Structure 1
Amino acid sequence: MAQRARPQQQRAAQTRRALLDATVDLLALHGVERLTTTAIVRRAHVSPGTFYRYFVDRAAILAVLRDEAVRAIEDDLMVSVVAALDIDVDAAMRSIVVTLVDAFERHRAVILAMVSQLPAGHHANVLPEIEADLHQLASLLPRRHRPDLLPERLEAVVFLTMGVLVSTCLRIALQRPPEVDRDELVDLATAMLVAGLGPGR
């Protein structure tokens, strides 16, 4: 019985993944405004009934994709922050900026779908979990490079640095004008963030 259940579970997981991947493809092609369950099932080559076996509606599949994107971005950022502890502050901050911009670009279609559904659009805090869940981790970098900071000053630096880091990297990944060089923006963001860690600021 268990052996028969395993292939069924694998097929179910594959079908669910096909629906999720089809949704990402459609978001990348047409944006969230033209996303329908009909388009998703056509793209995934399944029946409408199959879609509703896994997801209640379009909002439900978008919520799953959002959670997946947040987890993946958090994982990337965690690895980058840990690696950044052993290098100088400029290189460390640049590495983190590049990691976040890359991650946001990889999940661009899903993030843009999220942005378009928020009342404040691009001005909203699109990914509050990334700031909240990694607050402790984020404090490692200023703690390492600014051991002289008092706890309340460290808290202020971490609070602002994470907010500026996430919003700046989102702007670079999602809103960069075509004529503006990506590396130049990464360098500018790095310089701003390093200045925020500097003494007497």
Structure 2
Amino acid sequence: MRLLVLNPNTTQAMTDAVSAQIRALAGPAVCVEGLTAAAGCAVIDSAQSFAIGAAAALDSLQHYLRISAEKADGILLACFGDPGLHGLRAISPVPVRALAEAAIEAALASPGKFAILTCGPQWVPLLDACVEACGATARYAGCLALPVNGAALLREPAAYAPALLALSRAAADAGAAQLIMGGAAFAGLQIEIDPRLRRIDPVAAATQALLAPRA
């Protein structure tokens, strides 16, 4: 089986981190190919860059479908918030799964409310809208964000560990039983969270969805 990791921003390190995590999860029988947007934003952290990322994702997949000799069996959109997801599904000949959608589905499959932990305060309204689009508002305890974007977290993950732990405690205090690690920048990072919370890893959730037997 071949999976394509489609990163709608231009930061190769994020593509590599998500791809490495999928390889570890899926095992040697699955070939994982990374595709980073050739143009657009280095990091998606606002409504404007979200729209740019959605267009970049579509352009990337169109180019891939034109030139790739060996096509993927499934595609993972590697940006939490899922920019361009519906457009990708409209043109893709194979299943497309995305981080936020898969993580929210995983949260809804377990008891208790869920919260989202993310990078960058401008993501909060975007993710609130994503939760609403998934029909999960009744189970949603809110979104908590670091004051920096995912690129900053990638550069110095240890520096933000205390703040992430504090945010997770705030999520538990607000009634959450589950915490979605909302961002590709979290891929592969060992982040301590409040022990009252069940951690939901979006990369793992989306990978499991892609590898699940199809009806």
TM over 0.5: no
Relative to total residues, which structure has the larger strand share, 1 or 2? 2
TM-score bin (small chain): 0.3 to 0.5
Larger CA Rg, structure 1 vs 2: 1
TM-score by length of 2: 0.34
